Structure 1
């Protein structure tokens, strides 16, 4: 990561953290660097709004628009494009064009178009006449459709969204008057036509027993959770039909890890167990930390684990509604605008000494004043850190989650979905329960660190008189010999201890996937743990056992050698070739068969030969006999050939193809030399992984006083080059090319290398043209093969002693 890039990105208003993250993004960084340089902000800062638009351009541009990015960047610099909508229109306009017609560009992108508040008012007045009957009938519950319709008025295409909202509010007040008892209940999204959503699809063998026993068996049924107003439950049940509705709500600011696999299984599994639905919801309220790659990875991982969300939703979809409810909270005197710094807030909460808690000077400011200041926050009248909106809760409570939590803060960073429309963003404490309410969640499941947040979750729902889901907590899942903290993993990546977030030595789910771990093994592992209120720390060896058990049943067997020694069978003729049919898995006909060549020259592994024999060594040595797996007769070593350096480079053996020869004690794997069959398959790299950390808990200061970075195992990665493998690999690759839809799930090519371990193909491999039916086998197209070790074999102590 270049320090110059970080500095350049800070010139357009990115924080240092965001700039560093962006500089490491191989896709985004070059594009952003290009548009900044084009706009002329190499050595000087831009206006924050301009910088936000340049970032929006770089992060949302398409390959079809790439030739004309400079043109758009200059238009942003010259203030021709001033909104994210205009930038989006520009990207669309220039796509696939050779030359740009300036007049057409200006017209299509609204360059120079000024829509005044008066223009907006007139357009909204006119539009109201077309929907007036519906407005009068549905009153304030019609706001969402009314506002959406107003935004789609052609003459308002380039109008300020805030101006449209203001005109809509004013018109509704004019036509309907103030809200009254008919408008008390806060209606749900799409409440007039309850959705019949797709039920949760779980591609696992069955719904596990854990959802019908223990803690999960005690959960309430939909409709049993009390509400501050009984009408809220009636509306909820009308919208849901009494279904169980859960959600998995990750923040898109990093990659999921093994602990999230438990959360995914519990949320999707509980819904499936009761024929309900589960949404994937992105809690995207912190644009500084969010990146498109995280959104994509999260959905991909959920599907990889075998779950299909009923709906993919975003907290940002509700920004306007969340803002409106914040205004309501202020009107109820349950929120106020505060100007305290973080240090001042900490002091009022009693400070490190845990002294008495006191209200700040802003807590009792007039409602009208807070409303005006909150509007000023929304309009960009405050810089970051100058004003926040806090909920007026209970400073005397013993629960810190009642100490006037922050609901909104100023953050002048472009959002991946809403662009630069908002300069204030809601916090997790404010957003989470309300979006659960909007989505009619019946069971809001989370880990135990949120137990203290449950009362404040309920407080906010009741304060605003919206439907209140039930929050229920379960214990976190932790694994030994690793770290799961995003900050710590980021440090490992930054300092080069691991390749990236999907390095197979990590326990992020992309890393586990890349290592070749089948998702079914992960799910089986989670199901055996059950669900309790206690955090669990599981030995990594237990997870390995589940992976090994699953692969033992499903992975085909191949032969391979990491340290090849050439073997010449002296009593077989030149050009000898015998095709052997061998099972893909011994004693399991359902796994099928493969055909491999047996020839005069074969390769064995260096570990299976000793020049000086030993009575405890049962493999090949001078004068000694050993069997070759699946070959009819054994071989006996008759001669050892060395190079000038004294290294063994070839063994001459005799094929004991006579009846009555005594079977050998040991059989070893081998690979034939047969170019016409593409044998051997030559591997570019085999990556052998061990534990990344030496101690079970590398974060324990007592065991690791030097910190987790001092506990890194220097031998956690060994790379073997020059390894050989049999032709059965070509069959596996050909089957994968025909069956894989994405052609990116290389790790699905899994197999056991006999006597070595379980392996998969790494995504850095280059298999050439991956189109099925292209007329040539993969062996004729492959350019690079890299394997990752998934897990070792569980070898008995007896076998270890023999070897």
Structure 2
């Protein structure tokens, strides 16, 4: 389905962006996007429609419009001029410019701006080599563990280092290769040595597949040893205006790291949250500290119990256990008391200004001059009385708010007397009707960080501008001030993460619930069978920097595929079966075939399956006419059956008169074939044997592909529904699988139960409560030979006695097999 035609208004908008220099395609995409109003405003302010830029420069200005909305008009136009005159020519330079301007009070020091953004950066080859060697020396322990095997990751992390981030990538790569060769020898020799080592190790049982035993180059701990996270301050390194506050803080923490993961319980977590979970919980764990799970529950209008439950389940599923589970609502009384103190200090006031009036005070839609509220100079006693009346329920929502008295002339919008408390008049899930006023995020978050003695308040870069207000409030109230540090968000190509848009997909039936495996919510990824360890490895492999990242879906899938490759047994699954009769074998012919469950991991054991006169093969493995590029079964062809001693040869086939579909193939089992004969093709199969309950019929096999056709459906605004892929779900009924599937089901569930018991034993040892199991049937994962990776869906129904074979199987596609050049052969 092609995207809907542009409305007349969007056509006019697209034409405007084309006049400003954008290509036709980029202009139309921008017109459809939710940032179109902000983009037009900036383009008009910079007069780009009369003095157009090149398309590439226009794309950089779009980035300013999207990511720099918290900046003042003057700051955004300053960056646009730097783009226009060619000083800023890359996306990462614009990102650095936005960050610089967000922390700068006018006038702008151009030299400092240029230095922060890499403008005019030059470096001699000798200086580059010196910096590369210095980096390798600093990170010698990690680099030496991985050698050439970790070159790609190390060179990627080098680009995030402040001393190297503006170096030309090709020049940096060449210098790094030279340094690696000096340190580890030639790359080709290292590859040969690694191959020999792998060959020897392949004969030995593999280690555990837990994340703790991943090779050093793939360990999730890498992101804490290198890059942005490795350069964060140590506990006690965040200076305080009042020295006594730090003494109290260190006395409470004992110098340990304390972080928090603070989700709003108003929706389901998605793939982007996996980075926040890995960063906050992982950083604390790496430094032997603690991480809170704190629900930011200050908006009872949008909060539901299922969100609380699923957030905790997601955290535990990813392998983390909170130090404590807390809520912002734990501190409602304390927050209220501090709000009163802020009023008494003359730093907050009550106001009955409407939302429109407040917006106008901040410059309005046209970004006009800012001015103070009529209530800003209200007597303190009056504000205290009206705030008490707000708490007592004497005002309706919108009639009165409490605003912080900050700096209306600041270039930072988060300092324009933002709201601290508002009237909602809704009961709270924990406090009931005790409160009818609720604190805002801007008032609550920094103070809860302070209450919990957070050493590192780690959040994403859209909160850079909010850091000024965060620190202002802590200092105004003279409480301990944590340090906020910001890292780039993770966005996955083709994924929708907007809660509003996800809700619409679910409510309108475009998907089958929040856990539909085509979505990228964590509950959906869990149901699809994506291993949690693979998600953590994926996040770690990206590294952590201050730049937002839109990651290709293929990269995520490759990480999942790599994890499954070495951790799942292999079975024969026939998606679209055709019956094959081996006419030269007797009706009672039986051969027990023993095959490994994983060719590279003997520790997984073997499976014994029947081979009989009748077998089933996949319809894709047969053609009624032979061709030079098809090496599977066809007239005149001989093929091998995986793990069967002898090949089979085509004799004839039968078709359905009505449809022409092939229903039956007659072949010969070539018992007399010469020793050493190798057929050109091998296919998988499942035998028919009632005595061995073979084959096992699969009720449904659900095959998933991308839900959206474009890479960035979120940029389409409300037109994202037009981008839905009608072929994103295909259900195959009647697939057949070998009976060894029951062994895999039992062993997988047994291992999951063993993990639960280990957790119980550990909890008993520590005198704590063991976390409940969060695993379901999705722990049953396997590779279907030559097809894809699958797991059991929650809709499967197994017999109650796990020792018996039986039940109703529903399979979900996890990931396809790696594409190869020989596909089709």
Q: Would the TM-score normalized by the shorter structure come out above 0.5? A: yes
The Cα shift of 1:220 comes to: 1.2
Instruction: Tell me the distance in 2 between the aligned counterparts of 1:675 and 1:380.
Output: 74
Decide which of 650, 665, 682 is 1:637's aligned counterpart.
650
- Residue by residue, what CA displacement relative to the aligned partner does 1:569-609 show, whole Å, maximum 9, x if unpaired? 22222232222111011132122111111122111111111
Instruction: Tell me the distance in 2 between the aligned counterparts of 1:522 and 1:248.
Output: 17
Q: Is the 8 A contact 2:684 2:785 kept in 1?
A: yes
Structure 1 SS opposite 2:514: coil
- Let me know the Cα RMSD of the aligned residues: 1.8
Q: Is the 8 A contact 2:686 2:738 kept in 1?
A: yes
Q: Is the 8 A contact 2:514 2:524 kept in 1?
A: yes
| Residue of structure 1 equivalent to 2:686 | 671
| Residue of structure 1 equivalent to 2:581 | 568
Decide which of 439, 443, 452 is 2:465's aligned counterpart.
452
**Greater Rg by CA:** 1
Q: Mean Cα displacement is larger for which, 305-314 or 439-448?
A: 305-314
Instruction: Tell me the distance in 2 between the aligned counterparts of 1:423 and 1:571.
Output: 83
Structure 2 SS opposite 1:707: helix
Structure 2 SS opposite 1:489: helix
Matched, 1:787 2:816: no
| Residue of structure 1 equivalent to 2:28 | none
Matched, 1:747 2:778: yes
Q: Mean Cα displacement is larger for which, 586-595 or 254-263?
A: 586-595
Decide which of 341, 358, 372 is 2:354's aligned counterpart.
341
Matched, 1:217 2:244: no
Q: Mean Cα displacement is larger for which, 615-624 or 438-447?
A: 615-624
The Cα shift of 1:672 comes to: 1.2
Decide which of 701, 721, 725 is 1:709's aligned counterpart.
721
Q: Is the 8 A contact 1:757 1:789 kept in 2?
A: yes
Structure 1 residues 579, 298: CA separation in 2 closer, same or farther (over 3 Å shift)? same
Structure 1 residues 655, 743: CA separation in 2 closer, same or farther (over 3 Å shift)? farther
Instruction: Tell me the distance in 2 between the aligned counterparts of 1:483 and 1:706.
Output: 12
Q: What aligned pairs does 1:646-665 form with structure 2 within 5 A after superposition?
A: 646-658=660-672, 660=674, 662-665=677-680
- Residue by residue, what CA displacement relative to the aligned partner does 1:392-430 show, whole Å, maximum 9, x if unpaired? 111111111011111111112121111121111111000
Structure 1 residues 436, 202: CA separation in 2 closer, same or farther (over 3 Å shift)? farther
Instruction: Tell me the distance in 2 between the aligned counterparts of 1:641 and 1:209.
Output: 58
For structure 1, the 5+ residue unaligned runs are 1-200
| Residue of structure 2 equivalent to 1:400 | 413
Structure 2 SS opposite 1:676: helix
Q: Mean Cα displacement is larger for which, 437-446 or 500-509?
A: 500-509
Q: What aligned pairs does 1:342-491 form with structure 2 within 5 A after superposition?
A: 342-491=355-504
Instruction: Tell me the distance in 1 between the aligned counterparts of 2:475 and 2:288.
Output: 29
Instruction: Tell me the distance in 2 between the aligned counterparts of 1:340 and 1:543.
Output: 48
Matched, 1:299 2:312: yes
Q: Is the 8 A contact 1:760 1:787 kept in 2?
A: yes
Instruction: Tell me the distance in 1 between the aligned counterparts of 2:490 and 2:481.
Output: 27
| Residue of structure 1 equivalent to 2:699 | 684
Decide which of 762, 778, 781 is 2:793's aligned counterpart.
762
| Residue of structure 2 equivalent to 1:723 | 735
| Residue of structure 2 equivalent to 1:604 | 617
- Residue by residue, what CA displacement relative to the aligned partner does 1:69-108 show, whole Å, maximum 9, x if unpaired? xxxxxxxxxxxxxxxxxxxxxxxxxxxxxxxxxxxxxxxx
Q: What aligned pairs does 1:175-190 form with structure 2 within 5 A after superposition?
A: none
Instruction: Tell me the distance in 2 between the aligned counterparts of 1:527 and 1:345.
Output: 43
Instruction: Tell me the distance in 2 between the aligned counterparts of 1:795 and 1:579.
Output: 32
The Cα shift of 1:519 comes to: 1.1
- Residue by residue, what CA displacement relative to the aligned partner does 1:662-706 show, whole Å, maximum 9, x if unpaired? 3311110111112232211111111111111112122345xxx98
| Residue of structure 1 equivalent to 2:80 | none
- Residue by residue, what CA displacement relative to the aligned partner does 1:3-41 show, whole Å, maximum 9, x if unpaired? xxxxxxxxxxxxxxxxxxxxxxxxxxxxxxxxxxxxxxx
Q: Is the 8 A contact 1:245 1:276 kept in 2?
A: yes
Q: Is the 8 A contact 1:257 1:484 kept in 2?
A: yes
Instruction: Tell me the distance in 2 between the aligned counterparts of 1:500 and 1:599.
Output: 43
Instruction: Tell me the distance in 2 between the aligned counterparts of 1:202 and 1:319.
Output: 39
For structure 2, the 5+ residue unaligned runs are 1-209, 754-772
Decide which of 754, 773, 777 is 2:804's aligned counterpart.
777
Q: What aligned pairs does 1:96-245 form with structure 2 within 5 A after superposition?
A: 205=214, 208-245=221-258
Structure 2 SS opposite 1:721: strand
Instruction: Tell me the distance in 1 between the aligned counterparts of 2:240 and 2:298.
Output: 27
Structure 1 residues 297, 669: CA separation in 2 closer, same or farther (over 3 Å shift)? same
Instruction: Tell me the distance in 2 between the aligned counterparts of 1:202 and 1:585.
Output: 20
The Cα shift of 1:241 comes to: 0.3
Q: How many residues align?
A: 591
| Residue of structure 2 equivalent to 1:514 | 527
| Residue of structure 2 equivalent to 1:289 | 302
The Cα shift of 1:344 comes to: 1.0
- Residue by residue, what CA displacement relative to the aligned partner does 1:712-756 show, whole Å, maximum 9, x if unpaired? 111111111111111121111122343434485111111111111
Instruction: Tell me the distance in 2 between the aligned counterparts of 1:706 and 1:399.
Output: 30
Structure 1 SS opposite 2:329: helix
Instruction: Tell me the distance in 2 between the aligned counterparts of 1:202 and 1:422.
Output: 44
Structure 1 residues 561, 427: CA separation in 2 closer, same or farther (over 3 Å shift)? same
The Cα shift of 1:390 comes to: 1.0
Structure 1 residues 513, 204: CA separation in 2 closer, same or farther (over 3 Å shift)? farther
| Residue of structure 2 equivalent to 1:75 | none
Instruction: Tell me the distance in 2 between the aligned counterparts of 1:360 and 1:231.
Output: 36
Matched, 1:577 2:608: no
Q: Which has the higher contact order (CA 8 A, sep 6+)?
A: 2
Structure 1 residues 262, 604: CA separation in 2 closer, same or farther (over 3 Å shift)? same
Structure 1 residues 202, 675: CA separation in 2 closer, same or farther (over 3 Å shift)? closer
Instruction: Tell me the distance in 2 between the aligned counterparts of 1:332 and 1:587.
Output: 70
Q: What aligned pairs does 1:545-556 form with structure 2 within 5 A after superposition?
A: 545-556=558-569
The Cα shift of 1:542 comes to: 0.7
